[in-house]
Amino acid sequence: MVTSKIVTRFAPSPTGLLHMGNYRTAVFAYMFAKKNGGKFILRIEDTDRERSKKEYEDNIVESLEWLGLSYDEKYRQSEHVESHTKYLQKLINDGKAYISKEEAKDGSGVIRELVRFKNNGQTVIFEDAIRGKIETDTKDLGDFVIAKSISEPLFHIAVVVDDYEEGVTHILRGEDHIPNTPRQILIREALGFPQPIYAHLPLVLSEDRTKLSKRKGALPVTDYRDMGYLPSAILNFMAFIGFNPGGEKEIFTLDELVEVFDITKIHKGGAIFNKEKLSWVNKEHIKLQSVDVQLKSIERHMKDYPEDMLKKLLPTVIEKISNYGDLATVDNTEFRFFIKRPVVDVEKIVWKNSNKSEASQNLKSVKGLLLKADFSSPDSLKQSIMEYAEKNGKGNVLWPLRMALSGQEKSVDPFTICYVLGVEEVVIRIDNACQSLDS
């Protein structure tokens, strides 16, 4: 099949949940196709009948949909066995493959009629779009198996036939597929199919520089969704593993990534999956969201908080988190005092060499200032208090205020706390602290 339009494909096997290592291949194949006005195909390669499961196929589709990688066509390899068989038979008829009766290796004594490709041992040369010229002497491959039987084609011939019939022009896949390419080129030539452009991507590596896999901490893509990461951030982060368009900019939307994508700028060496970098990228994408979207996201995790309080807290919450899943922990440790008055610890509320009497007096003075203050922003409240604090010692004034309001030695700054709580609640908490200090 001949096509003038660029066509790429993402061809995962449904033998496990889609993890970040495979997903990066989809990102690059998608960006290359869209950059060139081409077509992006999803092909489920389920020739491994024993290990392939519908739940894994569903997970692949679900993951791509969540991440916003829309495919133009979808195929399931098992539905094209008739075509695979047709071309398999053609190879046999043309004397380029043959049926080999062999005893099963499991010791059962069963004789299988395998189909082997007749390999002449030629040197295969192809120009990889990333790695340049790759040359392979195929003598060592021998007559390799391409089907378990005439009705059970295996991976190599199935892939070749599918790519041809689906019009795939560019095959972007991991460098671990380089050993497969000479076999597939031999089959293509034997069938008279045109050769696509190959681009073998650098591996995604775990932190110990081994291939990222399920055994090496490669979580399913949907786990990141459930942890509160944004699809735009996952996409942005994965696009930069093994690729850099140049320049200082690191935060991109999908459309921007497509615009700057250049296959010649893909690195040859493997790139490490850095979780800290992912968290940073995700935080930057959260900041790009509208206030309404941010508010709805934190509301799902902070249901006990009044809406007006969440609106005031929003900038502080966004600054504290790297993903929305962090709120399950952050809420319990840093923000809970906003909706639950703290128990005053008179031993901790006094600043260093100060005393209870001085702490109480400073709190009462601050209360007087706050009663006349502008509560429209943390900055306006800071202006109301800071002159007094600088005159009487910032620690002596601001430490008791923080402890009275939050009960925590580490918390958001006291001006933000005052702004979020409002004057009435602030006065109640200061009075409670003074009562404990004066008793």
CA dist., res. 101 & res. 413, Å (int): 79
Please determine, for residue 109, whether its predicted confidence score (pLDDT) is greater than 80: no
% of the chain beyond a pLDDT of 70: 98
pLDDT at 216: 62
What integer is the mean pLDDT of 5-29?
91
Segment 323-327 long-range contacts (CB within 8 Å, at least 24 positions apart):
323/227, 323/228, 323/229, 323/230, 323/279, 323/282, 323/283, 323/286, 324/228, 324/286, 324/297, 324/298, 324/300, 325/226, 325/227, 325/228, 325/229, 326/228, 327/228, 327/298, 327/301, 327/302
CA dist., res. 244 & res. 277, Å (int): 15
Q: Band of the pLDDT at 215, cuts 50, 70, 90?
A: low
* Domain 346-438: CATH architecture, name and number where available: Orthogonal Bundle (1.10)
Residue extents of the structural domains in the chain:
214-287, 289-324, 346-438
pLDDT at 160: 98
Q: What is the pLDDT of residues 290-327, one digit of tens each?
A: 999 999 999 988 999 999 999 999 999 999 999 999 99
Q: Band of the pLDDT at 210, cuts 50, 70, 90?
A: confident
What integer is the mean pLDDT of 19-41?
93
Asked if residues 113 and 100 have their Cβ atoms less than 8 Å apart, the reply is: yes
* Domain 214-287: CATH architecture, name and number where available: Orthogonal Bundle (1.10)
CA dist., res. 45 & res. 75, Å (int): 9
Please determine, for residue 3, whether its predicted confidence score (pLDDT) is greater than 60: no
pLDDT at 229: 95
What integer is the mean pLDDT of 226-244?
94
pLDDT at 2: 45
> Side-chain half-sphere of 266: how many Cα atoms within 13 Å?
30
Q: Mean pLDDT of all residues in the chain?
A: 93
Q: What is the pLDDT of residues 322-352, one digit of tens each?
A: 999 999 888 777 899 999 999 988 889 999 9
Please determine, for residue 371, whether its predicted confidence score (pLDDT) is greater than 80: yes
Q: What is the pLDDT of residues 170-182, one digit of tens each?
A: 999 999 999 999 9
Better pLDDT: 332 or 194: 194
Please determine, for residue 1, whether its predicted confidence score (pLDDT) is greater than 50: no
| DSSP letter (8 states) at residue 211 | B
pLDDT at 217: 63
